[in-house]
C-alpha cells in the first residue's frame, strides 16, 4: 500500500512538472514570437506611443499667365497647434481658443481632453494676425491651465503657431476650371493645381515630437530633409483674352438660357491656348459653395456630337483624296435622301450643289453624297489624322478622347451621318486643335497650357516648345478648305453673324441634336457651335464656341456665331493683328439670322 501511495505522489509530481514545462514552453514561444517575429510591428507601435511626426509645408509656387500676371498666389496664414498632454485645465484653455477661432469652447474642450494625441491642429487656416493674437492671450494666461509638474520641459510650448501660406486666386473665377484649387492641406485637388502639385508644392521640413508615458511632449527632433519652395508655372493663358472669352460666353449662355458653354482660343501654329472658358464659373476661394459639376473643365472632359462643324473635315477628306475639288457638284435630292430604311433631311431643299456650297449652306445630304464618293476609309483616315477619337496629350487633367469607331464597324447610315457630324463625339479642345490644323497649313499641333517653369527666384527651370503631332492633310488641301470656310461667313452662308470688319473669317456653324440615353436623339436638346479662325491671309487666332442646350433658339449661326465674333474681334485687336481689309467696309448687311446648321 505504501508503495502504491509513493507511486501516486510521484505521478502527481511528474504531472505538475509537465504542466510547468508546457507553460514554460508557451511563454518561451511567445517571447520568441514577440522578439523575433513581431519585432518590427511592436517597435512601430511603441514608437507611435512616444512620438508623433509633424510635417511643415513649404511656400507653394505661383501660377502666372503668359504676361507674368498672377493667377494663383499665396496669402500669409497660420496653423494653430496645441499639445493636449500639457493642458491641465482644458475648459479654461478652450475659452481662449473659442474667443478667436471658429469652433465653440465645448468643441475645443473635447479636443484638448483627448490625451492620446501629442499634437493637434485646432485651426489649419487662420490669418497670421489672428493667430498671433491667440498666442499672445494664451501666453498671458497659460500659468492658470498648463501642466507644470515633474517632467515638464519648459522649452516645449503648449500652443504653437506654424506660419504658412494659403492659396488665393486674385482674379476670383477667372480661369477657375483650368487652374483648379487646393485643399486645406495645401495640395492641389483640381485643374493645373492638381496636375502640377508635386512641382508647385516643393519640399517641407519634418519634425518628430517625443512624449512621456502621460502623453506630455518633452522634446522634438528635426529630421533633415531640405526645405524647398515650390516652382512656379507660367501658362500660355492670357488673362485679358481669358476675360474676353468668359464675358462673351456668359452673355451667350444667359441670352439663350442655356445649360452651359465652353470657349477655346488658340494660336494655330503653336497650339498655345490663350483662353479656355467655361460657363458657369465658380470661385475657387469659396469652393464649398459649389458642386463637383461646377469644377470640371468641360473643354477637355466633356464630349459631344459636333454636328455640321465636322463638314470642314469631310471637305478636307474629299479634297485630300483627289476625288473632289471645291467645284465638284452633287445632287442633293431636294431635301430628302433615303439610305436603306433611314431618311436624311436638309433644313432647306437643294438640287445641285458644289462641295464649296455644301459647306457654305451646310447641306447634310450633300455631305452624305461626298462621303459616299470618297468612301468610309478615306473619311476615317482624315478624321483620325486630325486627332479625333484620341487624347491629344494636353497638360491638363481629365482629358477625354471622344469617340471615332473604326470604319470597318460603320454601316451605310453610319458613314452618312458621320460625314455631317453625328455618330462621332469630340471635345471642345479637339475641335479647336483640328480647326487650327487647317489654319496651320495642315499640321496638327499638340495643345498646351504651360509654357515654362521657373524657380522661386524667377529663373527658368524648363520651357516647353510647340510640338507638331503630325500632318493631317497637305498644305494645298488646307488652303482649299480655308477658302471654302471663308464662304460660310459671306452672304448666303450660315455664319454671317460671325463676319468681322477688317478681317476675312474662315468658319463653320454647327447644330446637333443631343443623343438620348436610351438611343436616338432628344427632340428639343441641342448643341449650338461655331468654329473658325482669322485672318485668312495669315491666321493668328482660332476660336471655338459651344453652347449646350440653348432654349430660346438652337442654331449655331444664331446662338454661337455672335459670341465667336465678339471673342475674335476683341482678341485680334488686343494682339494688335493688322486688318487685312478696308475697315470702312460694312458687314452689317450680312448680320442676319440664318436657319440651317
Active-site amino acid positions: 308
Residue 333 C-alpha cell reads as: 435630292
- List the beta strands (DSSP E) in 458-583: 460-463, 468-471, 506-515, 521-534, 541-548
Cα separation, 242 vs 275, whole angstroms: 4
Cα separation, 97 vs 542, whole angstroms: 55
CB 355 within 8 A of CB 327: yes
Residue 163 C-alpha cell reads as: 506660419
Other CB atoms within a 10 A radius of the CB of residue 414 amount to: 17
- Nearest alpha carbon to residue 62 among 52, 53, 73: 73
Judged on CB neighbours under 10 Å (0-12, 13-18, 19+), 133 is middle
Which 8-state DSSP code applies to residue 252? H
Cα separation, 449 vs 432, whole angstroms: 14
SS3 505: coil
The helix or strand, by DSSP H or E, that contains position 489, with its residue range, turns out to be: none
SS3 497: helix
Query: What is the SS3 assignment for 86-150?
Result: HECCHHHHHHHHHCCCCCCHHHHHHHHCCCCCCCEEEEEEEEHHHHHHHHHHHHHHHHHCECCCC
Strand pairing partners for 123?
80
Helix axes 475-488, 428-439, angle to 10 degrees: 110
CB 305 within 8 A of CB 512: yes
Amino acid at each position: 500500500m505504501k508503495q502504491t501511495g509513493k507511486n501516486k505522489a510521484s505521478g502527481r509530481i511528474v504531472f505538475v512538472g509537465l504542466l510547468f514545462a508546457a507553460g514554460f514552453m508557451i511563454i518561451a514561444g511567445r517571447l520568441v514570437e514577440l522578439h523575433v517575429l513581431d519585432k518590427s510591428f511592436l517597435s512601430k507601435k511603441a514608437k507611435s506611443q512616444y512620438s508623433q511626426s509633424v510635417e511643415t509645408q513649404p511656400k507653394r509656387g505661383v501660377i502666372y499667365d503668359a504676361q507674368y500676371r498672377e493667377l494663383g498666389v499665396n496669402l500669409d496664414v497660420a496653423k494653430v497647434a496645441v499639445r493636449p498632454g500639457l493642458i491641465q485645465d482644458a475648459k479654461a484653455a478652450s475659452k481662449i481658443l473659442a474667443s478667436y477661432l471658429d469652433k465653440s469652447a465645448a468643441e475645443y474642450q473635447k479636443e484638448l481632453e483627448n490625451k492620446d494625441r501629442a499634437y493637434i491642429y485646432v485651426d489649419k487656416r487662420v490669418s497670421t494676425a489672428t493667430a498671433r493674437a491667440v498666442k499672445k492671450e494664451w501666453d498671458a494666461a497659460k500659468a492658470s491651465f498648463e501642466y507644470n509638474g515633474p517632467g515638464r520641459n519648459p522649452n516645449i510650448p503648449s500652443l504653437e503657431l506654424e506660419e504658412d501660406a494659403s492659396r488665393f486666386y486674385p482674379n476670383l473665377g477667372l480661369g477657375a476650371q483650368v487652374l483648379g484649387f487646393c485643399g486645406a492641406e495645401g495640395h492641389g485637388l483640381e485643374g493645373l493645381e492638381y496636375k502640377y502639385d508635386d512641382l508647385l508644392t516643393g519640399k517641407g521640413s519634418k519634425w518628430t515630437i517625443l512624449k512621456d508615458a502621460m502623453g506630455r511632449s518633452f522634446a522634438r527632433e528635426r529630421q533633415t530633409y531640405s526645405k524647398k519652395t515650390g516652382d512656379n508655372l507660367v501658362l500660355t493663358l492670357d488673362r485679358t483674352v481669358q476675360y474676353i472669352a468668359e464675358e462673351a460666353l456668359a452673355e451667350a449662355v444667359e441670352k439663350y438660357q442655356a445649360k452651359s458653354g465652353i470657349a477655346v482660343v488658340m494660336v494655330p501654329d503653336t497650339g498655345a491656348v490663350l483662353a479656355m472658358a467655361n460657363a458657369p464659373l465658380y470661385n475657387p476661394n469659396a469652393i464649398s459653395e459649389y458642386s463637383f459639376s461646377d469644377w470640371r473643365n468641360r473643354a477637355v472632359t466633356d464630349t459631344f456630337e459636333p454636328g455640321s462643324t465636322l463638314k470642314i473635315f469631310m471637305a478636307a477628306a474629299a479634297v485630300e483624296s483627289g476625288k473632289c475639288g471645291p467645284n465638284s457638284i452633287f445632287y442633293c435630292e431636294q431635301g430628302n435622301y433615303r439610305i436603306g430604311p433611314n431618311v436624311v433631311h436638309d433644313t432647306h431643299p437643294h438640287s445641285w450643289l458644289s462641295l464649296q456650297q455644301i459647306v457654305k449652306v451646310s447641306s447634310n445630304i450633300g455631305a452624305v453624297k461626298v462621303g459616299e464618293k470618297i468612301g468610309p476609309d478615306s473619311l476615317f483616315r482624315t478624321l483620325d489624322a486630325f486627332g479625333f477619337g484620341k487624347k491629344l496629350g494636353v497638360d491638363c487633367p481629365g482629358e477625354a478622347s471622344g469617340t471615332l469607331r473604326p470604319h470597318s464597324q460603320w454601316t451605310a447610315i453610319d458613314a452618312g451621318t458621320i460625314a455631317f457630324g453625328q455618330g462621332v463625339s469630340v471635345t471642345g479642345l479637339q475641335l479647336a486643335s483640328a480647326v487650327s490644323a487647317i489654319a496651320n497649313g495642315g499640321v496638327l499641333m499638340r495643345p498646351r497650357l504651360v509654357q515654362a517653369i521657373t524657380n522661386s527666384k524667377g529663373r527658368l527651370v524648363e520651357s516647353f516648345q510647340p510640338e507638331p503631332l503630325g500632318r493631317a492633310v497637305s498644305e494645298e488641301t488646307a488652303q482649299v478648305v480655308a477658302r471654302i470656310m471663308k464662304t460660310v461667313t459671306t452672304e448666303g452662308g450660315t455664319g454671317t453673324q460671325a463676319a468681322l470688319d477688317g478681317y476675312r473669317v474662315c468658319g463653320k456653324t454647327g447644330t446637333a441634336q443631343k443623343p438620348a440615353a436610351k438611343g436616338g436623339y432628344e427632340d428639343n436638346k441641342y448643341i449650338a457651335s461655331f468654329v473658325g479662325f482669322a485672318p485668312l491671309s495669315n491666321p493668328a487666332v482660332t476660336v471655338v464656341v459651344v453652347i449646350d442646350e440653348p432654349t430660346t433658339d438652337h442654331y449655331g449661326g444664331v446662338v454661337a456665331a455672335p459670341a465667336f465674333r465678339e471673342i475674335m474681334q476683341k482678341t485680334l485687336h488686343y494682339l494688335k493683328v493688322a486688318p487685312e481689309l478696308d475697315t470702312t467696309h460694312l458687314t452689317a448687311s450680312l448680320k442676319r439670322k440664318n436657319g440651317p446648321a
